[in-house]
Amino acid sequence: MLPNVLPNSASDHTPVLADEVRRLLAVQPGETVVDATFGAGGHARLLAQDLAGSGKLVAIDRDPSVKPHFDRFKAGAGVDVRFLRGDFAIVLSQLAANDIKADAILLDIGVSSMQIDRPERGFSYATDAPLDMRMDATGEPTAATIVNTWDERELATIFRRYGEERFARQMARAIVRRRQEQPFERTGELVDVVKSSIPAPRRFGDGHPAKRVFQALRIAVNEELESLERALPAALSMLRPGGRLAVISFHSLEDRMVKRFFAAQARGCTCPPDLPVCVCGNEPTMRLLTRKAVRPSPQETAENPRSASAKLRAAIKVGEN
């Protein structure tokens, strides 16, 4: 979901780790594929090609603004396609509850370039805009709500946990002090306060000084980690035996969550390690297709710098439903 430029159509969208996703999902004609984070449709377009005119592709996205991209994709997809709007964790759970099965599922976690590159969405610290950051503009809260109402400890916690920001406490304190005089409304106001709250040398260090705070707020606004935690077991439940699940993440917390989920499903047994034999009887439900996270090649990161932090993991469902 992180193309190098804002796409005008699915065919213009350069998806991250495209070849690796196709290889690991190994989509075959006649299968049912779910792209649970459709975005501008770059991955979906390639997966539809692998269906070779026979099969079904279900696209999911919580952002209503992607619908025109889906409509263009549908016109040339060459297979049966359907769009479902909503949080992928909720939609996958609903599909699984209705015994809808899939052969391949892709989750491409995080914010898309078409969201970042639209200033009015408020995702970027590089452009002054309303302080929003909602992937679904009909939901709540906005980033402004969080910075204007959460207490200092809560703000510091999300900056530290979701942004891994070393100056989280100082930034939270400065935000609370500033909002007592005037509530935050725009991204530029937040950037100025973040910059002023840290030592001068840090302002010229590793990347933009507000990068981690904006990342943390986006994750909190959209409950991204909670959604991923619910989506992984829902996706597994949807898969047929032999079905493949691939997940692309851009944040260490997301990647660790995926890694642990796959490892637990591949291990099966939940007995304490000091027991000489297994007594729980749990069998593995997945087999790992990637022992380590797959990273973009140097060529891909050179062509698309936003792909640099991407990590891809995949596993196949084993056993019987």
| pLDDT tens for each residue of 261-311 | 999 999 977 777 777 777 777 789 999 999 999 999 999 999 988 889 999
User: What CA–CA distances, in Å, run from 129 to 2, 25, 132, 189, 299?
Assistant: 21, 39, 8, 9, 33
Strand order in the sheet with 311-317: 80-85, 56-61, 32-35, 102-108, 239-249, 311-317, 286-288
Q: What is the mean pLDDT of residues 218-243?
A: 96
Indicate which CATH number applies to the domain containing 83: 3.40.50.150
Domain residues for the domain of 125 are 121-222
Categorize the per-residue pLDDT at 122 as very low, low, confident or very high, splitting at 50, 70 and 90.
Answer: low
* Shared domain check, 42 and 176: no
pLDDT at 7 over 50: no
pLDDT at 2 over 50: no
Measured CA to CA, the distance from residue 16 to residue 3 in angstroms comes to 7
Indicate which CATH number applies to the domain containing 198: 1.10.150.170
pTM, whole model, 2 decimals?
0.88
Categorize the per-residue pLDDT at 4 as very low, low, confident or very high, splitting at 50, 70 and 90.
Answer: very low
CB atoms within 10 A of CB 41: 30
In a domain, 218, yes or no: yes
- What pLDDT was estimated at residue 320? 64
- What pLDDT was estimated at residue 119? 60
* Shared domain check, 191 and 127: yes
In a domain, 73, yes or no: yes
Q: With beta carbons less than 8 A apart as the criterion, state whether 308 and 301 touch.
A: yes
- What pLDDT was estimated at residue 10? 42
Q: What is the mean pLDDT of residues 108-118?
A: 68
Q: What is the mean pLDDT of residues 30-35?
A: 98
In a domain, 183, yes or no: yes
* Shared domain check, 151 and 126: yes
Helix (H) or strand (E) holding 240: strand 239-249
